[in-house]
Amino acid sequence: MDSSGTQSLSEVHSSVTTAHPSIWRRMFAFAGPAYLVSVGYMDPGNWATDIEGGARFGYQLLWVLLLSNAMAILLQTLSARLGIVTGRDLAQACREAYPKRVSYALWILCEIAIAACDLAELLGAAIGLSLLFKLPLIAGVLLSTLDALLVLWFNRYGIRVIESIILAFVTIIGGCFLFEVLLAKPNFHEVALGLIPRLNDQSLYVAIGILGATVMPHNLYLHSSLVQTRTIGKGDKDKRSACKYNLIDSVVALNGALLVNAAILIMAAATFFKNGVVVNEIQQAHQMLAPLLGTTVAGAVFAIALICSGQSSTITGTMAGQIVMEGFLDFRMRPWLRRFITRSAAVLPAVFTIWWTGDHGAYKLLILSQVVLSLQLPFAVIPLIRFTSDKRQMGKFTSPAWVKTLAWSCAAIIIGLNLWLAWNTLQDWPWYISFPLAMGLLGLLGWVAFAPFRHGSAVQLPEASLDLLKPPVYRNILVPLDHSRLDRVALSHATALARGHNAKVHLLHVEEGVTSQVYGALAETAEVEKGREYFSQLRASVEQLGLEVELTVVHATDPKSAIVRFTRECKPDLIVMGAHGHKGLKDLVFGATINEVRHAVGVPVLVVQDGS
């Protein structure tokens, strides 16, 4: 783990060129970020709230979907503009504008929201696997946790490949629900009446769940970072063009997500509400589709779409978690470790709930996760609106008055609905829990909304003058050897440095064969004997250069730990290691010695590769 630097998603930052003469090719080059974001608007959490809303209230909550989608387009557009104009994602902007305590509090709330979102993705994929392959739900949950390897595999191919995979998933989901709606044959006059706003105490909880599932807080952080994967010029004309193309991208992608969500709710209303079926779990929805629609294919199509939804959402959830941690903390964690932490936070409550309450409890947990997302939403929306309304940060791209009015109206609706929900929910809690919690969240919200910004960067850059730096002096140089062609490459660099500093060269080889693990230094095999001859020749070659050299062979089961132990004993000024160049899944198979060593020792590590 190391510092994240100043670029958001640095491994793919500005990796997609947009300099194309054709307007259609430029539009295609900018297309993609909103499709990754749109996945969060049709994840398994949306399914639960849409099915619940359609099955219990018919078409009455369609207007909530329409309103939520309009709010999503506006807020995601503001998020994209923030990233394009300032070159910072929303998390980085919060870190720079707010005091550390406030920034840390926002980070914690966002991590809770991401864990809730990941919980929905995990349960959705697990339910889909359970429906399609008749697995127990807990087995589906545990199997779904293995998708971290899939995410690692996709990350190595770049952002455009990930966008293509996500678009394929979205197409499958949309096609599946178009098929379901055609089978359900809804009454479109009643569908149109569902666009008239209606709300009561019974439908409030589900309406806020739909809102939380549609306008997702972590998507605002994600979008402001993803737009920076495109190469954007520094001039106002280039930024204005990028904002225009990203607006088109957002409108197309999010309206596609609206059609999917509307199709789910319409299917549930036409199938379950019309027949008086109370749906308490997604599995029940799957089982009832076949007899109600008259074909067993409907259930299988439902399960396939659910699996695609969960797997696509988990990819974007990983990226959002990485962006949030790097942005708020200026701290970078390996994606696989970040994924493991987030998924662990989702697996434990999922397994416990399923074990304690059964499948019905998993469905309720899915709904609850979306309400948690909605409660966190104001803490992302208000900073976003304030940043994009701040002339110091946005310059000529500051939101005009009509956009500010719409944005603050959205924020007022979100806050109002959440206060209504909190009042209804917290009345049943003990006062000594509900009162401090409510006061703390309201206080934080008030600070985020009204406290003045700390203008200027919170990133402290080091002194740039080289006059203050003392040139390094190498007295002892350590070269770990692994009996490969890279030994000579590493030695050539090490000896060049050693001759310039009159340094001693320490050669280290870790013998890790089965015989060596059992007998240690007493091991005697043809391979061990041949290795001694090889290393003796290397030592003699270094001595011929007039350098002092020492050769050490140790026997251990773990080369990484052995190198770290020897480093602490030898206390070298520099370690020179040869890199094999494998990455991704090969690291899991063959190991990643260099990364493990450099994070465990406080010594500079020079990594070299075979230039041939």
Lowest-pLDDT choice from 72-76, 81-85, 524-528: 524-528
Q: Which residue has the higher pLDDT, 349 or 392?
A: 392
What lies within 8 Å, CB to CB, of 470 at 6+ separation is none
Spatial separation of the C-alpha atoms in residues 199 and 498, rounded to whole Å: 77
**How large a percentage of the chain has pLDDT more than 70?**
77
Q: Which residue has the higher pLDDT, 383 or 610?
A: 383
Lowest-pLDDT choice from 157-161, 227-231, 554-558, 585-589: 585-589
**Tally of CB atoms within 10 A around 190:** 17
Structure-derived torsion over alpha carbons of residues 565, 569, 570, 572, reported in degrees to the nearest 10:
70
Averaged pLDDT of the chain: 79
With 60 as the cut, is the pLDDT of residue 585 above it? Answer: no
This prediction has a pTM of: 0.71
Estimate to the nearest angstrom the gap between the alpha carbon of 408 and the chain centroid. 28
Lowest-pLDDT choice from 27-31, 42-46, 100-104, 472-476: 42-46
pLDDT of amino acid 252 = 92
Single out the residue of 283, 143, 261 nearest to residue 210, CA to CA: 261
Q: How confident is the model at residue 351 (pLDDT cuts 50, 70, 90)?
A: confident
Single out the residue of 496, 471, 482, 513 nearest to residue 577, CA to CA: 482
DSSP string, 240-287: HHHHHHHHHHHHHHHHHHHHHHHHHHHHHIIIIITTTPPP-SHHHHHH
Spatial separation of the C-alpha atoms in residues 430 and 436, rounded to whole Å: 11
Q: Which residue has the higher pLDDT, 366 or 159?
A: 159
Q: Residue 423 has which token pair?
A: 């009042």
pLDDT of amino acid 85 = 93
Category of 476 on φ-ψ map: left (φ > 0), alpha (ψ -120 to 50) or beta: beta
Q: Which residue has the higher pLDDT, 131 or 68?
A: 68
pLDDT of amino acid 136 = 80
**How large a percentage of the chain has pLDDT more than 90?**
17
Provide the H-helix boundaries in 145-235: 147-155, 159-184, 188-193, 201-214, 217-226
pLDDT of amino acid 247 = 93
What lies within 8 Å, CB to CB, of 194 at 6+ separation is 58, 59, 60, 61, 62, 63, 269
pLDDT in tens, 415-472: 887 777 667 666 777 888 778 888 888 899 899 999 888 765 444 445 555 555 577 8
pLDDT of amino acid 282 = 65
pLDDT of amino acid 178 = 84
Report how many helices (DSSP H) and strands (DSSP E) the chain contains, helices first.
27, 5
Q: Which residue has the higher pLDDT, 8 or 536?
A: 536
With 80 as the cut, is the pLDDT of residue 393 above it? Answer: yes
Q: How confident is the model at residue 473 (pLDDT cuts 50, 70, 90)?
A: confident
Burial class (CB in 10 A: 0-12, 13-18, 19+), 27: middle
pLDDT of amino acid 232 = 85
Lowest-pLDDT choice from 58-67, 237-246, 253-262, 338-347: 338-347
With 70 as the cut, is the pLDDT of residue 81 above it? Answer: yes
Q: Which residue has the higher pLDDT, 396 or 284?
A: 396
SS3 state at 536? helix
pLDDT in tens, 143-197: 776 765 565 566 667 778 888 888 888 888 888 888 888 888 888 888 888 888 8
SS3 state at 563? helix
Q: Average pLDDT, stretch 105-122? A: 81
Q: How confident is the model at residue 339 (pLDDT cuts 50, 70, 90)?
A: low
Q: Average pLDDT, stretch 285-300? A: 66
With 90 as the cut, is the pLDDT of residue 600 above it? Answer: no
CA angle 143, 42, 257 (to 5 degrees): 150
With 70 as the cut, is the pLDDT of residue 524 above it? Answer: no
Category of 200 on φ-ψ map: left (φ > 0), alpha (ψ -120 to 50) or beta: beta
pLDDT of amino acid 575 = 92
pLDDT of amino acid 516 = 43
pLDDT in tens, 324-334: 888 888 876 66
pLDDT of amino acid 366 = 63
Q: How confident is the model at residue 523 (pLDDT cuts 50, 70, 90)?
A: very low
DSSP string, 316-353: HHHHHHHHHHHHHHS-B--HHHHHHHHHHHHHHHHHHH
pLDDT of amino acid 9 = 67
Q: Which residue has the higher pLDDT, 137 or 388?
A: 388
With 60 as the cut, is the pLDDT of residue 321 above it? Answer: yes
Residues in the chain: 612
Which range in 140-154, 420-434, 510-524, 570-584 is most confidently predicted, on average pLDDT?
Answer: 570-584
